[in-house]
Amino acid sequence: MTKGKVALVTGAGLGIGKAIAERLARDGFAVAINDVSVDSAEACVEALRASGATATAVPADVSNRDQVFDMVVNTVADLGRLDVMVSNAGIVQVDPILAITENDFDKLYAINVKGVLWCAQAAAQQMIAQGRGGKIINAASAAAHTSHAVLGTYGSSKFCVRALTHVMAQEFAAHGITVNAYCPGIVDTGMWDTIDSRAAEVLGIPEGAMKQKALDGIVLGRMQTPEDVANLVSFLAGSDSDYVTGQNILTDGGMVMI
């Protein structure tokens, strides 16, 4: 149990999710670490505890609604409450429209869209029961604001997250719950290596060409780090964002301007 605020971060075993968990721990949150990999979740928890943070592992598959609700129950059992839900878990697929299969589509939407919905339902239910409001923070993408060839399933799933974020903000406001999304651009993680490698294969371009084209469009002239994303999530999780809701905020170095 903890007397401070509690945040749950999905997909926090590595990459952006891990950076978010580390930042929220530094901000003073007790952190529940979710990942589909038990080993990744527990390794992150071990590192956080070594730094003096309070953390617990809550492995679950976010595409499974029952597992998500159990994940929230386990978070509250271990840490006492839930104040912030960060629905970070997601996957990417790189395929032209004519090559998308039903299985591919269903798998990506199960994680990127259903996972966000189930996490919001479970978190909101707990926050409403607590009666003290809360913050739900969803992972969207710069691809939720502009479309890219061979990223049809991924981009469309993030457009769905934008819409869900708007509706959640409207429906949960009466309970003191704010709902926002962060929209990263080109983040220096394994996911972008996968995108670049697969794009080279399906588009017949040199490996590295898609990444370089994306980099050329970034006003600030560098790739984003996971910590850059975590900085925005820190703001959305903290009290300075109490009057911000229903927003899908770009953190992409000026790649997309709206």
208-238: b (≥16 Cβ within 10 Å) or e: eebbeebbeebeeeebbebebbbebbbbbbb
Report which DSSP code applies to 187: B
Active site residue 154: yes
User: Is residue 148 within 8 Å of residue 94, measured between CB atoms?
Assistant: no
Residue 92's contacts (CB-CB under 8 Å, 6 or more residues apart) are: 108, 151, 154, 191, 194, 195
User: Is residue 65 within 8 Å of residue 35, measured between CB atoms?
Assistant: no
Catalytic annotation, residues: 154
